[in-house]
């Protein structure tokens, strides 16, 4: 999925797609957080998490838009 498609699917402007995190704590807490981050794909800069979110957004967007359209039509009919 392109960045433009991801932007349309999620409604998040492309310019704000930078992800950052910060962990505060003792050395053990920081090391544990680092370990968990890497197990969740953090070494790949969150590409898997972003791709999954974009895929869900892309797949479900038409369903959400159809529901919104039905609601609007219902409201306009009174």
| More confident call, 2 vs 62 | 62
CA separation for the pair 48, 54 (Å, rounded): 10
**44-72 b/e (C-beta count within 10 Å ≥ 16 → b):** eebeeebeeebeebeeeeeeeeeeeeeee
User: In 3-state terms, what secondary structure has residue 59?
Assistant: helix
Residue 75 confidence (pLDDT) above 90 = yes
CA separation for the pair 32, 1 (Å, rounded): 32
Q: How confident is residue 73, by pLDDT bands cut at 50, 70 and 90?
A: very high
pLDDT score, position 8: 66
Q: How confident is residue 70, by pLDDT bands cut at 50, 70 and 90?
A: very high
Per-residue pLDDT tens for 13-38? 665 555 556 777 889 988 998 888 77
The structure's pTM equals: 0.34
The domain segmentation of the chain, as residue ranges, is: 3-77
């Amino acid at each position: 999925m392109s960045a433009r498609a991801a932007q349309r699917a999620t409604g998040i402007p492309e310019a704000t797609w930078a992800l950052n995190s910060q962990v505060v704590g003792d050395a053990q807490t920081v090391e544990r957080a680092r370990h968990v981050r890497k197990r969740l794909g953090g070494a790949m800069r969150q590409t898997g998490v972003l791709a999954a979110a974009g895929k869900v957004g892309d797949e479900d967007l038409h369903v959400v838009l159809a529901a919104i359209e039905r609601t609007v039509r219902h409201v306009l009919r009174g």
